[in-house]
Structure 1
Amino acid sequence: MKLATFLPPAAGPDSVPVGGEVREDMVVAFADGQTVLDRLASGDRTPATGPAYPLADVALLAPVPAPRCIFGIGLNYVAHAAETEQELPEAPMVFMKLPSAVVPPSGPIVCPPVVKRLDYEGELGVVIGVGGAIAGYTVCNDVSARDLQRREKQWTRAKGFDTSCPYGPWITTVDEVPDPQDLRLRTWVNGDLRQDASTSDLLFGPQQLVDFLLETCTLAPGDLILTGTPEGVGAAMDPRVFLQSGDVIRIEIETLGSIEHAVA
């Protein structure tokens, strides 16, 4: 099942987001006003029975617009650690992004004026369901301010700033993803392919990350874990290339769909 949050066609500025199920080129609303978070919390996977709309006619929002917690993982792809000339960590490197970092899969990303070196990171996202178990997967961009990241030991400002976490376009439930460590991930900037890798290069897989976090943290439905980025980030190019206003980033993960957004 693909769980989506959207605005129906011709929705006004005061319209309430709707939860639903994506079925090929249609999206069907959940009955009784159920949200994606309701479905994650209950584990209910019965088919949606509400009004149906063409997928092309709705505005997709972040599946859970304000996750309670967003965890990021650093240096979790072997090749990415190599391109940045850093040693592989012995345990997951965990940081946090704020709920205000989330924007719809179409963005936009708004670069803070203090940031001069803005970068993309296409990532596989893990979404938590009942009892801290993995409910599904999604496509994420861990937008990063490289200049702040280099000079500040803690990464809250560098990776948690407002609009630094576009994700979606929906949550694909675990039953539709036989092996999350065998998915092709690609990132384009203005049509130029920058990242083309497999999640098989993950150092710590999704379940390992969940188990690690559960050692100290309660994980609740809707919590989001960004599992790290593969090689091909702008900061590792020669010469380095950072995002500029008007740039368009597209991230696609096999089976999970794609997100595309601009830098405002």
Structure 2
Amino acid sequence: MRYYTVMVNGEERVAASQDGKELFVLETFADMNALIAAGNVATFPEDAQKISVGDVTSLSPIPHPKQDVLCLGINYTAHAEEAERFSKESFGGERPYPIFFSKRVCYSQGTDAPIPAYTGLVDSLDYECELGVVIGKDAKNVKREDVQDYIFGYTIVNDVSARNLQTRHKQWYFGKSLDGFTPMGPCIVSADEFAFPPKLRISCRVNGEVRQDSSTANLITGITDIIVMLSEGMTLKTGTVIATGTPAGVGMGMKPPTFLKPGDVVECEIEGIGVLRNYIEE
């Protein structure tokens, strides 16, 4: 099943689709967090409003995350190498354990929405296409064999980053947490649609040029280890989003580094989920 948050008659509504074309509006749920807490929807009410996905504005599937989005840093080998080339002081060194950090998200925008340029504050705006894991129920001290029971589904996250702020502050929180830096979408696809762990093609295009092209099979720290490790020390609340890291091909890894500018169009695509398309605000 595919789950969307859409605008219907000026209001946010949760909708579901089996084919990604026809949506059924689910009036029972106040928002996506309520639907996730209830679990996967198997059938639609007979009186559910039907609309075409092309006739509505799709928002982020979770416009208002309950918690900060949790993230994995340097979780693809080739990306680790390009990051260290850009700034060894900020991104270099041995990494015997996964790098966890978070993004403050006051509001997550969806596909076809703008990303602020922050001209004057940000001079090195970058993209990071990532597989987002959506937690389906409160998770604490999860055993490896039970991890799948805690995953509601998957989405696409663009972990937008201000590289100058990352290197200036020598930490990642501020440079990745500016308003508008966490687009998600276009939907959440339920976990039962994929084999586990999902091995999906992940790619990113800027103005039609392919910049990133890899597979989630190449994660250094896989989804099972991520959830087991995080849940040892914290409760992952229902609806928590975990961005699992980005592959090589980001702007800071290019020679010379090439960053986003106003008017650019960024398309993040993951096999089986869809395309998250955003443009940099003029």
Match of 1:121 in 2: 128
Alignment of 1:65-214 (within 5 A): 65-69=63-67, 70-85=69-84, 86-87=92-93, 89-100=95-106, 102-112=108-118, 113-132=120-139, 133-214=150-231
- Please tell me whether the aligned partners of residues 4 and 61 of structure 2 are also in contact (alpha carbons under 8 angstroms): yes
Match of 1:62 in 2: 60
1:233-259 Cα offsets, whole Å, 9 max, x none, are 010100110000010000110011111
Match of 2:262 in 1: 245
Match of 2:44 in 1: 48
Q: Distance in 1 between matches of 2:269 and 2:75?
A: 18
Q: Distance in 2 between matches of 1:181 and 1:82?
A: 24
Give the C-alpha shift of residue 88 in structure 1: 5.9
SS of 2:233's equivalent in the other structure is coil
Q: Distance in 1 between matches of 2:76 and 2:66?
A: 26
Provide the identity percentage. Answer: 37
Give the C-alpha shift of residue 131 in structure 1: 2.9
What amino acid sits opposite 2:44 in the alignment?
A
My pick for the range that moved more, 109-118 or 249-258, is: 109-118
Change (3 A) 1:214 1:48: same
Q: Distance in 2 between matches of 1:106 and 1:256?
A: 16
- Please tell me whether the aligned partners of residues 187 and 193 of structure 1 are also in contact (alpha carbons under 8 angstroms): yes
Q: Distance in 2 between matches of 1:134 and 1:66?
A: 19
- Please tell me whether the aligned partners of residues 131 and 154 of structure 2 are also in contact (alpha carbons under 8 angstroms): yes
Give the C-alpha shift of residue 101 in structure 1: 5.2
- Please tell me whether the aligned partners of residues 184 and 198 of structure 1 are also in contact (alpha carbons under 8 angstroms): yes
1:153-209 Cα offsets, whole Å, 9 max, x none, are 222210011000101111111100113441000100000000000111100111211
Q: Distance in 2 between matches of 1:87 and 1:81?
A: 10
- Under a length normalisation based on structure 1, what TM-score does the superposition of the two structures give? 0.93
What amino acid sits opposite 1:26 in the alignment?
E
Match of 2:147 in 1: none
Give the C-alpha shift of residue 46 in structure 1: 2.4
Unaligned runs of 5+ in 1: none
Residue 6 (structure 1) aligned with residue 13 (structure 2): no
Q: Distance in 2 between matches of 1:208 and 1:77?
A: 15
For the aligned residues, what is the CA RMSD?
Answer: 1.5
My pick for the range that moved more, 231-240 or 60-69, is: 60-69
SS of 2:11's equivalent in the other structure is coil
Count of equivalent residues: 259
My pick for the range that moved more, 167-176 or 93-102, is: 93-102
Q: Distance in 2 between matches of 1:35 and 1:48?
A: 16
Q: Distance in 1 between matches of 2:262 and 2:97?
A: 36
- Please tell me whether the aligned partners of residues 165 and 175 of structure 2 are also in contact (alpha carbons under 8 angstroms): yes
Change (3 A) 1:107 1:90: farther
Q: Distance in 1 between matches of 2:213 and 2:135?
A: 26
- Please tell me whether the aligned partners of residues 81 and 88 of structure 1 are also in contact (alpha carbons under 8 angstroms): no
- Under a length normalisation based on structure 2, what TM-score does the superposition of the two structures give? 0.88
1:77-118 Cα offsets, whole Å, 9 max, x none, are 111112223456222211111122521122210022311000
- Please tell me whether the aligned partners of residues 63 and 107 of structure 2 are also in contact (alpha carbons under 8 angstroms): no
Give the C-alpha shift of residue 151 in structure 1: 1.5
What amino acid sits opposite 1:200 in the alignment?
A
1:200-236 Cα offsets, whole Å, 9 max, x none, are 1100111211111112211111111111000000101
